[in-house]
Amino acid sequence: MTVPAAPQAEGMPSSSPASAVPAVRLREVTRDYRRQRTSMFTPAPVVRALRGVSLDIAQGQRFGIVGESGCGKSTLLRIIAGLDQPTTGSVEIDGTDISRLPERRLGFLRERLQLVFQDPMGSLDPRMKVRDIIAEPLVSQGKRDNLPRVLELLEAVGLQSEAADRYPHQFSGGQRQRISIARALAPDPRILVADEPVSALDVSVRAQVLNLLDELVERLSLTLIFVSHDLSVIRHVCDSVAVMTRGEVVEVGATEQIYQQAEHAYTRALIAAAPRLRTALAGRTAADLAADTLAAKESR
């Protein structure tokens, strides 16, 4: 005779391992932006930046998001980070639905999830010393006497302790991005979200910053969500990738699998466009070229 399993008590943790709860779960997320009206007689045009995006990102996964500029990558990250709300659809972080929470209820999210942006100069206050920049997320959690933690973080990102008393403009672009990474790691988050973190850097320092991210994600067992318009950058740090175009995720899978045998025409165009980068006009990316190639194919 088999004994039926006891019913799970309401509100009790499930018996499945914690890792079964994805770090991030999106269901049918859309985001509409209303543009400025061009005339008082016409309604404001609506831009649909995301169209029904559904994704699961497992704990400890290194998840890349790739696509041409304007395809909705940053909008998606802002929604995952609770900095913006979806027009429809749901967003869960570690099993908690954040899609309708007001900003003041997102404190728990700030402890779990931190961001690194593309432009370290724009995201670092030029009037603040590095020690105060890095300690800022700790201070907003009410923590004091943060210098030992700041020094530990500086060392972790490969900067000398003297950096603590300098200002952002006294550093190179790559060093400033190291400072941004140190600040993001200060509250000991489990999820690190990076929006084009090396795109503004010289090619020569890109690999160094990518290697640092790679090493820190490994050492701290972080979940990484990494946006780039460049699949070769994603390939360097991510085990999985979602390919976006025009607000939709068109393909998700293991990075190597997608790189070797992409199914969607857009992804294949994205990969094929990469070698042409060298000869491409300045400012045009492989992703933009791929979008052009696909648009040209579709219009035929």
Ligand X SMILES: Nc1ncnc2c1ncn2[C@@H]1O[C@H](COP(=O)(O)OP(=O)(O)O)[C@@H](O)[C@H]1O
Contact residues toward ligand X (CB under 6 A) are 33, 35, 47, 49, 67, 69-75
Nearer of residues 74 and 146 to ligand X, judged by Cβ: 74
From the CB of 283, what's the least distance to ligand X, in Å?
Answer: 13
> Binding partner of residue 158 among ligand X, Mg ion, none, CB under 5 to 8 Å per kind?
none
Q: Which of residues 58-117 bind Mg ion (CB under 5 A)?
A: 74
Write down the least CB distance from residue 82 to ligand X, Å.
16
Q: CB count, 10 Å around CB of 205?
A: 16
Q: Judge contact between 266 and 241, C-beta under 8 A.
A: no
Q: Is 120 exposed, middle or buried, given 0-12, 13-18 or 19+ CB atoms closer than 10 A?
A: buried
123 interface partner picked from Mg ion, ligand X, none, CB below 5 to 8 A per type: none
In the structure encoding, which two tokens stand for residue 167, read together?
């200002």
The nearer residue to Mg ion, 244 or 294, going by C-beta atoms, is 244
Q: Which does 243 bind (CB under 5 to 8 A by kind): ligand X, Mg ion, none?
A: none
| 3-class secondary-structure state, position 159 | coil
Residue 123 touches Mg ion, criterion: CB under 5 A = no
> Residue 220 contacts by C-beta under 8 Å, 6 or more apart in sequence?
185
Cβ closest to ligand X, residue 30 vs residue 69: 69
Question: In terms of CB distance, is 71 or 185 closer to ligand X?
Answer: 71
Binds 228, which of Mg ion, ligand X, none (CB < 5 to 8 A, cut-off by type)? none
CA atoms of 130 and 147, how far apart (whole Å): 11
Q: Which residue has the tokens 């869960």?
A: 92
Provide, rounded to whole angstroms, the least separation between the CB of residue 42 and ligand X.
17
By CB neighbour count within 10 A (0-12 exposed, 13-18 middle, 19+ buried), where does 103 fall? exposed
Q: Which residues bind Mg ion (CB under 5 A)?
A: 74
